């Protein structure tokens, strides 16, 4: 028996020294728990996917995704600049591939997003009249939402329409279509996609002022007799400063409106940043202090990250009758957007899996809540 153990150990050591990859879902010969299976009776577990991932260019990554997640949101391909690049031209090919990927692997797809002030088609810069903006607005929602009705599980109908104080954000849609454009977007989506759940999505809408504005917006949609099924709290937070009290209050207040509550773009920043949220237009200047962990994350920060994720998932489980989905904005630390925002080229660690899809301490803290 001792000899057998020695042979096995020698073989494993040889494999590791040779740099041979372990199978997805395993680490040093041990099976990694599945997030989607761990929380299968509680809420869906999602991730953001890029083109290479849903086109299955890396078979091992595909296996990993399918084992860990049962919901997915596209990073970019359904945003209007990509899916509607010219006035009379739509590019559905990447989105169709995403839908096929979801169907093949039993992963529900959340469409992201129909109306957003950022990543607009270039031709919109030349629009100078309410008629042209309204024509784009109507045609875009009807065409895109209609094409994928019954093929995607849900849509982020409107994304980030609010300022931090809860007022309406100044956008081309607000300027030309007025305060009711969000309600109208949901009305059009309801007509075009009767078999699809319809959500409002934003960041920092767990914070009291922005939450109040979000609630007022939702009530306005409901008062107009228009369907809205849920609200997404993006969940871009910072290590050691996750606002658990505000998050819980938001779950309760949004659910009280009869809405599903979901966390749609979850990651926990570990690098220095002088603002919170996810305003994509904001930038910081690189300096000696802005990228401190290029050689690896210090153990103290790793443990704080794990504690933050553990506290978050305890809260999600406490309200699992209200929380329907938890989606991470990325699969692993290597493909998080936070490596390049708000400063390009940083080495960030905001997710549950490291750059080799190996689970971190935070992962084990989270799955241990169900064991």
Residues labelled as active-site residues: 160, 265
Range list of H helices, 45-113: 51-54, 59-68, 80-83, 93-105
Distances (CA, A) of 336 to 49, 66, 108: 11, 18, 21
Q: Give the separation between CA 81 and CA 125, rounded to whole angstroms.
A: 12
**DSSP per-residue codes, 321-371:** TTEEEEEESSSSGGG-GGGSSSSTT-----SSB-TTS-B-HHHHHHHHTT-
- Closest CA relative to residue 173, chosen from 191, 155, 185: 185
Backbone angles phi, psi at 118, to 5 degrees: -105, 165
Q: Give the separation between CA 68 and CA 61, rounded to whole angstroms.
A: 11
Range list of H helices, 170-327: 172-177, 181-192, 208-223, 244-255, 299-318
* Tokens encoding 311: 């506290």
Q: Give the separation between CA 228 and CA 109, rounded to whole angstroms.
A: 18
- Closest CA relative to residue 233, chosen from 118, 322, 109: 322
* Tokens encoding 13: 């050591």
What is the helix (H) or strand (E) element at residue 10, kind and residue range?
A: helix 2-18
- Closest CA relative to residue 145, chosen from 117, 183, 112: 112
Q: Give the separation between CA 176 and CA 181, rounded to whole angstroms.
A: 9
What are the residues whose beta carbons fall under 8 Å from the beta carbon of 296, sequence distance 6 or more? none
Q: Give the separation between CA 118 and CA 171, rounded to whole angstroms.
A: 9
């Amino acid at each position: 028996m001792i000899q057998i153990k020695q042979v096995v150990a020698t073989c494993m050591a040889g494999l590791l020294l040779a740099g041979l990859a372990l199978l997805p879902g395993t680490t040093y010969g041990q099976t990694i728990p599945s997030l989607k299976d761990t929380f299968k009776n509680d809420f869906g577990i999602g991730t953001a996917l890029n083109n290479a991932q849903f086109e299955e260019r890396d078979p091992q990554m595909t296996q990993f995704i399918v084992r860990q997640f049962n919901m997915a949101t596209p990073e970019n391909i359904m945003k209007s600049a990509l899916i509607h690049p010219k006035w009379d031209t739509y590019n559905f090919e990447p989105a169709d591939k995403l839908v096929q990927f979801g169907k093949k692997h039993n992963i529900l797809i959340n469409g992201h997003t129909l109306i957003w002030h950022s990543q607009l088609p270039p031709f919109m810069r030349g629009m100078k009249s309410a008629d042209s903006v309204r024509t784009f607005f109507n045609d875009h929602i009807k065409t895109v939402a209609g094409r994928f009705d019954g093929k995607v599980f849900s849509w982020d109908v409107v994304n980030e329409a609010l300022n931090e104080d809860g007022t309406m954000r100044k956008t081309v849609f607000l300027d030309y279509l007025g305060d009711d454009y969000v309600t109208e977007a949901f009305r059009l989506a309801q007509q075009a996609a009767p078999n699809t759940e319809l959500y409002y999505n934003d960041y920092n809408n767990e914070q009291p002022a922005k939450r109040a504005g979000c609630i007022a917006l939702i009530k306005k949609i409901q008062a107009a007799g228009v369907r809205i099924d849920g609200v997404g709290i993006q969940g871009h937070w910072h290590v050691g400063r996750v606002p658990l009290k505000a998050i819980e209050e938001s779950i309760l207040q949004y659910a009280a409106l009869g809405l599903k509550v979901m966390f749609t773009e979850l990651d926990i920043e570990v690098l220095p940043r002088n603002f919170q949220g996810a305003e994509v237009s904001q930038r910081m200047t690189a300096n000696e202090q802005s990228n401190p962990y290029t050689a690896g994350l210090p153990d103290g920060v790793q443990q704080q990250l794990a504690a933050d994720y553990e506290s978050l998932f305890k809260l999600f489980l406490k309200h699992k009758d209200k929380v329907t989905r938890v989606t991470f904005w990325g699969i692993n630390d290597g493909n998080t957007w936070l490596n390049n925002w708000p400063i390009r080229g940083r080495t960030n660690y905001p997710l549950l899996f490291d750059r080799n899809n190996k689970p971190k301490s935070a992962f084990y803290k989270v799955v241990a809540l169900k064991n």
